[in-house]
Every structure is written in structure tokens, then in C-alpha cells.
């Protein structure tokens, strides 16, 4: 999957690392949170840490942790598709 498989519906938050949008998977209609983490201004060490954190999140399954559904990289950002909080 990639960013083309999602619709970003509305901006719900913004911080120093990037933006979070309410989104929807195109083919299932599932509502998700889409976190865009900008690569610009990040060191190689920061990029490496983001990739490691992504792998950790991928394996975490707990009722109190929002589930990572999908993740991918674009030229300018990391994109995390997260289960929408209930």
C-alpha cells in the first residue's frame, strides 16, 4: 500500500515533526489517522531512529496503544496509518 491508497480528509493536528490527518482507506472505507513525519531537517541518525520506531510500533499489540495499520515512505516524509481512536 502507499499514500495513493488513502484519502486525507482533514487536518487534526500539527507539531514540530509533522501533521496528523483524519483519513480513509480508499478500498475499505476504514477511518484512520494518517501521521506524516517530514524528513526535511532530520539527520541520518534521526531517519534511522524513525525507521526503528516504526518497526517497534508494527509489532506492538495492546489495548491501550493505537495500532499501526500500515506505513510507507514518500520522497519527503514517513507516513503512518494508525487505527482511529475510539
d(C-alpha 5, C-alpha 41), whole Å: 27
Q: Is domain 3-83 classified as CATH 3.30.200.20? A: yes
In the prediction, which pLDDT does 4 show?
A: 87
**3-state DSSP call for residue 62?**
coil
d(C-alpha 57, C-alpha 66), whole Å: 9
In this structure, the number of other CB atoms found within 10 A of the CB of residue 22 comes to: 16
The pTM (predicted TM-score) of the whole model is 0.85
Tell me: the pLDDT tens digits for 20-68? Answer: 999 999 999 999 999 999 999 999 999 999 999 999 999 998 888 889 9
Residues 6+ positions from 78 with CB-CB distance below 8 Å: 36, 37, 39, 50, 54, 71, 72
Spatial contact of 63 and 55, defined as CB atoms under 8 Å apart: no
48, containing H or E segment: helix 44-59
* 39 labeled binding residue: yes
Amino acid at each position: 500500500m502507499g499514500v495513493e491508497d488513502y484519502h486525507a480528509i482533514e487536518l487534526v493536528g500539527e507539531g514540530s515533526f509533522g501533521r496528523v490527518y483524519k483519513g480513509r482507506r480508499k478500498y475499505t472505507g476504514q477511518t484512520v489517522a494518517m501521521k506524516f513525519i517530514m524528513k526535511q531537517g532530520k539527520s541520518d541518525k534521526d531517519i534511522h531512529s524513525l525507521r526503528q520506531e516504526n518497526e517497534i510500533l508494527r509489532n506492538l499489540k495492546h489495548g491501550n496503544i493505537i495500532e499501526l495499520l500500515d506505513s510507507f515512505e514518500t520522497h519527503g516524509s514517513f507516513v503512518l496509518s494508525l487505527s482511529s481512536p475510539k
